Amino acid sequence: MGKTQPTAQNFNKKVIIKVDYIKKDGTCPLYIHVSIDGEFDRIPLKLSWSKDFFDRDAGKILPRRKDDKDASDYQLMIDTEVGKINEIFKEYRLSGKTLTIGQLLKDYNSFTSRKDFFTFYQNDANERYKRRKIELGTKKGQLASLNSLKEYWAWEQAKKKKGEPDHLPFNALTPKLLENFRAWLKSHKDNIPSTTENHMKNIRTYVKRALADGNVFDDPFKTVKVTKPETWPDVLTVDQLESLMKLFNDESIPGTWTAILRHFLFSCFTGLRISDVKAVNHDNVKGDWLVIMPKKTLGKQKTVRIPLHPMATALIQTSIGYLFETYSEQYTNRKLGKIGDAAGIDFKLKTHTARHTFGTLFIELGGDVVTLKDYMGHRDLGTTMKYVHISEKRKKERINVFDKLFKKEL
């Protein structure tokens, strides 16, 4: 059986004048009378006109004299407001959604913002975070992409000397705009491919959500494809991990370093993300297992069980409440940079380095990828396979040590 077609709604609107209220200047206020399926309301136009020069049948003002410029200007403003009503009517009719008087008034009063992708993106991201659909780190990353798009749009509008740099209409989201944005990220912001494509991925998320919310415009991502450049995250070797453990046991280092190294090393042995490190507590410890519901995928309600190696258990010093003392991710990354320098590590340590290290060392030390997938809470095996690829890459790099020998012999 086919889908039931929505019942057509009866939309009507007309400009009226309120003759029972006369202002001191002799004019009467103008309204748009709207009705939907028998329900009606009046929308004030914040304009007034003489009742003697108003065509009630046509719902139009009449010139009070020859070459009455005010009449043409006022009519233009009235037509603009009526156009908004028509646009809302049309959008609901085309989408098949039911429009009520209350929703009409809400959409009319926020007409500019509801047609603006920037406003939709900002509000939707905040709402998703408020409802715990996304984590704070995810929200910050998505809003960073929004700010980059805003910066590009302002630059584009300034170059053309037109438009509204603070508003991006949905219908302006064209494939050309997004391809130009992608090029601008590279040429003006020096973004590497992975950063650029992450911005594009975040924007695609909110374009799809805007369409799903009933906004009517052409999806630019039918043409624009988001790629996933191959990246090789920094990963600790066993020797580097031992250097950090040695530094952790050095009683002369600052207390903040000790606290940060404690949970960083714990993540190296468990693969926890920093968001989970901040949340994990003694209720999550079940014997020799750590049982959590990762915050990043909280909406999926997926439970992850990770075995606790004695090295990981030894790092837990609390007896109740949270397992670790933590700081903001930004502050932690700053300190990790200094910790890495002190340990002689040749790349910038970050919180996520620990998770990558766990995944890679697990494979290199004989673990299988299917088990690793479960420990890391990945939805598909393809995500976990990157650690196999990193491991293979590192093995290939190790064989290059023979280059030195051959060069000597030659």
- Boundary (domain end) residue, out of 75, 109, 143: 109
Residue 187, burial from CB neighbour count under 10 angstroms (0-12, 13-18, 19+):
exposed
Structural domain includes residue 369 = yes
The H or E element spanning position 34 is: strand 28-36
Cα angle value 405/408/410 (rounded, 5°): 110
* Structural domain total, the chain: 3
CATH number at residue 316: 1.10.443.10
- Residue 279 in contact with residue 263, Cβ under 8 Å? no
Contacts 24+ apart (CB under 8 A), 84-93: 84/108, 84/111, 85/13, 85/32, 85/34, 85/43, 86/13, 87/111, 89/11, 89/13, 91/214, 91/215, 91/216, 92/9, 92/214, 93/8, 93/9, 93/11
Structural domain includes residue 232 = no
Structural domain includes residue 5 = no
98 and 145 fall within a common domain: no
163 and 47 fall within a common domain: no
Structural domain includes residue 1 = no
Torsion of CA 382, 387, 393, 397, to 10 degrees: 180
Burial track 127-156 (b if 16+ CB lie within 10 A, e otherwise) = ebbeeeebbeebbebbbebbebbbbbbeeb
Q: How many CB atoms lie within 10 A of CB 324?
A: 20
Closest Cα to residue 312, out of 371, 274, 369, 358?
Answer: 358
- Residue 207: which domain range? 114-222
Q: How many CB atoms lie within 10 A of CB 110?
A: 12
> In angstroms, how far apart are the furthest CA atoms of the chain?
106
Structural domain includes residue 227 = no
385 and 251 fall within a common domain: yes
302 and 200 fall within a common domain: no
160 and 282 fall within a common domain: no
Residue 296: its pLDDT value, please?
Answer: 77
302 and 376 fall within a common domain: yes
84 and 104 fall within a common domain: yes
Residue 113: its pLDDT value, please?
Answer: 60
Contacts 24+ apart (CB under 8 A), 222-228: 223/175, 224/175, 224/178, 224/179, 224/200, 226/197, 226/200, 226/201, 227/193, 227/197, 228/197
388 and 273 fall within a common domain: yes
Residues 6+ positions from 214 with CB-CB distance below 8 Å: 91, 92, 95, 97
Q: Show pLDDT as tens, one digit a residue, over the chain (410 residues).
A: 444 455 678 999 999 999 999 999 999 999 999 999 989 999 999 999 999 999 999 999 999 998 899 999 999 999 999 998 998 898 888 878 889 999 899 888 777 666 789 999 999 999 999 888 888 888 999 999 999 999 999 999 888 776 667 889 898 999 999 999 999 999 999 998 989 999 999 999 999 999 988 777 899 999 999 988 777 788 999 999 999 999 999 999 999 999 999 999 999 999 999 999 999 999 999 999 999 988 877 666 789 999 999 999 999 999 999 999 999 999 999 999 999 999 999 999 999 999 999 999 998 888 888 999 999 888 888 888 888 887 777 766 666 555 555 554 44
Structural domain includes residue 278 = yes
- Beta strands (DSSP E) in 62-143 are none
Residue 378, burial from CB neighbour count under 10 angstroms (0-12, 13-18, 19+):
buried
Residues 6+ positions from 355 with CB-CB distance below 8 Å: 267, 271, 272, 273, 376
Structural domain includes residue 409 = no
- Boundary (domain end) residue, out of 53, 83, 109: 109
Residue 1: its pLDDT value, please?
Answer: 43
296 and 388 fall within a common domain: yes
27 and 102 fall within a common domain: yes
CATH number at residue 204: 1.10.150.130
Residue 397: its pLDDT value, please?
Answer: 64
- Residue 217 in contact with residue 378, Cβ under 8 Å? no
164 and 246 fall within a common domain: no
- Boundary (domain end) residue, out of 109, 137, 162: 109
99 and 137 fall within a common domain: no
Structural domain includes residue 231 = no
